[in-house]
Structure formats: structure tokens, C-alpha cells
Chain A
Amino acid sequence: MKTPVQFRLNDQPVAVFVDGGDNLLTALRDGVGDVTPKFGCGQGACGACTVIVEGEPRLACITLAEACEGARVETLAGLRRGPDLHPLQSAFMEHFAAQCGFCTPGMIMAAKALLDRNPRPSREEVVEAIAGNICRCTGYEPIIEAILAAAASARRY
């Protein structure tokens, strides 16, 4: 039997019908059609599905959809404001922090959760914030540099 779940996705109200055991990733990708969170491992080990729930980074693949009733959920799809990229997105471009791009949505959301609560993190804090996210291509260094650069940029967001 399907259950209705309502929550706020990137400041917009959404409603989806889910099965009892459905996770948030399935609800977002198949229910809402927001495919920016990626399905990597389905067991909370790779970070590609990272979204922000009530200000905290969450692995959408191991978060029950029904547990998000009434919650504020943020995904990469909500970062861009009109034609302007989010400072993290610009920094990822400028620092060549993506190759194949599959980890990028999760990396950026993990970084956003960090900067939202700690706008000027140290390198160690950046490393800790993305420690649950696997990247195969970049060797992490460009990603760490991009996040530090976004934090240092004076632009408000």
C-alpha cells in the first residue's frame, strides 16, 4: 500500500506516494523526478546520494522516505539561483574538481552542509566533511581546494 509523504524540497512543497520501505533517494529520483542525488552503492558507503535534511547532510539511500514527512530537504537541483551558479558550483568548475562527475552532486551537498554551519572551515574540517564521499577520478585534492576557495569567496549566498 502506498503512503503519501509531504515535505519541502528546495523550498517548494512536494507530495509523493511511497511504499513503506522506500528510501528518500527513490522518492526523490522516481517520485519527484529530481535525479541530482545519484545512486552509487545503495548502502550508505559512497556518498553520491548526499542531500541535506533539516540542515544536516544525509545519505538519501539509507534514509526512510516516510521519516522525511514535513522536513526541509535540499538537493543540488536547488543550489542554482536563476542563471547564477552557487559559489560551490563555480569553485568546483574553476578548480577542475570534477572529472566523470558522478560524485559531484554528493560532494557539493556535503560541502554545503559544512559551509552552512561553518562558513570558514579549516582544511581538516573540509576533509572530515567529505570523508564519507568516494571520488574515483580527481584524487580529492581539487575538491578540497574548491571547497576552501568557495568558503574564502566574499560573495554571499
Chain B
Amino acid sequence: MKNVIEVKNLTKEYKELKAVDNLSFAVQEGEILGLLGPNGSGKSTTINCILSLLNFSEGSIKIFGKEMKPDAYDIKKDIGVVFQDVAVFEELSVYDNIDYFCGLYIKDKRVRKKYVEEAIQLVGLEEFKNFFPKKLSGGLLRRLNIACGIAHKPKLIFLDEPTVAVDPQSRNNILDGIKMLRDRGATIIYTTHYMEEVEILCDRVIILDKGKIIASGTNAEVKALASIEEKVSVEAIDLDKKYIDEIKKFKNVDEVIYNNNILFIRYKKGKNNLDTLLDYLKEEHIKYNKIYSERPTLNDVFLELTGKELRD
């Protein structure tokens, strides 16, 4: 597959702060690349540099094989952007907002009308197309924000935290819409600090911290970077300390915490950890209500690599 975006040695400095530090990566046609990182890690700055909105100190950026510049209209016509901040006109209806932004790309009125209707359908705003933004809930507003950015059917889409502060229904709707865009063949750069979304949507992940790539690859590849294999939580009331001490001695156990009647065990790589634990609980007649087993998440990887949570 050919590269849609090629970023080489990108560096962006704000006075003494390096917001993006010698960043290099490529995005392949048709993939959804998740750009992960906590606030201030350089995600939005990287996107703004790629879009030629921001000056950068060093590096080169190519989109569709051509150098990206502010007046590269032949490249821009195939790009759609959904910024983190909702960018719509309060004075225009849902339909007019989408029509206005779509009209900056599509001149033919008939084609535009069709595209606008399709975008409204994609984000599920059919019932609200004559509403003004003030009358929309936060979630619906986010959907409108997305429709404005993708109505012209771009080949390359940047989605910068499109699900921030939305209700679960709108979030699911947005995620479904993004999957549909991918199915239509669009290449997507998706920035977020919500792990679950990345795991559902993205083919590949780049984790950023302090403007640098600290991990990249497919979800499985990145998760493999974690030293832990499994996390088990057991709800057991008034568990005696001797049992906790015994469990700590089990093979592959990395860490045991007992708090609020929940026993939390982290295992390093290894097999049959849960079976061993269940056998022990049975042998010692320890009563428990619930037991959960989880695989490491991208957040665990991030925690291990940086010592902080992604949402910090």
C-alpha cells in the first residue's frame, strides 16, 4: 500500500518548549492511525503542522506524495478535518452549516446537495437539519462538527478528539460513522486519549509523549510491549492477610493490592494464572462474589512507558 502521509523529522518549538520533537511516521492508504497521548503530548500540534496551519522548525511533510503547503489546493481538496473545538456558525442551521463548509470544496450545487444529505445521514442528524447549533445537545453538536468536516467525501480525514465530552449514544454514533468512512476507503488519522476508541477503531497506533513517539505498531504489537500479561480482580470480603501473602508468592505475580474488599493481582507473562488462582481460592474455601480477568490495555502500556495515565 502507498503512503498517504509521510512525516520526516518534524520538529516544532514554542520558544524553549519542543512541542514536537523529531517526529517521523507514515500513514498508509485506507488505514486508521490512532495518534495517542495525554494532553500536551503534541497530537494537535502535529496535525496543525501537517495541515500547514503552523510553522515548524525542521522536517518535511508530504501528503499524497506531494509537499504540503498552505496553497497546495490540489492536496487540500481531498482532505477533511474535524477539529477538537466545535467549528460551526451559530447563525446557520445544521443543513446550512454543512452546505457552507462543503461548498468550499464542491462547486456543483446538485452534487453538494447530495453530499450534504449523505453527511447528515451518516451522523444521524436527519431530524435536526433545520435546527440551529444553540438548540443542539453537546453530542449532537459534535456530530454536526464531524459532518461539516467530512461532507465533501475526502480521501484523507483528520479527526482530532471528536468524542470529547459526548454522551454514550452520540459516541457510538460517531464511532459507527468513522467505521463507515473507513469502509468507504478513507484514510483516517484519529487522535484521542480514550483507549477504548483506539482499540475498537484503529489499525495502527502511535503513542506520543512530550512530542516524541514512545511506541508504535498495531494494537497487539504495542500491547506486547507491556511487561504484564494479565490483570485479575477478585471481590472477596474481609480477606485474611495470610492469603494475600500466599498469593504474592505465586508464579508470575508482579503485584498484589487488597483494597475496599477487592483483591487486584497483576501477572507478568505466563500461562494458566487464573486457573492457579481459582484452585487456591477453592482449596482455602475463600468466598468471593465476582472475579474478572483482563488483558493489558494501551493505557497499561502507556503507564509502563511513561509512569503516568493517558488522561493525566
* Co-complex (A, B): no
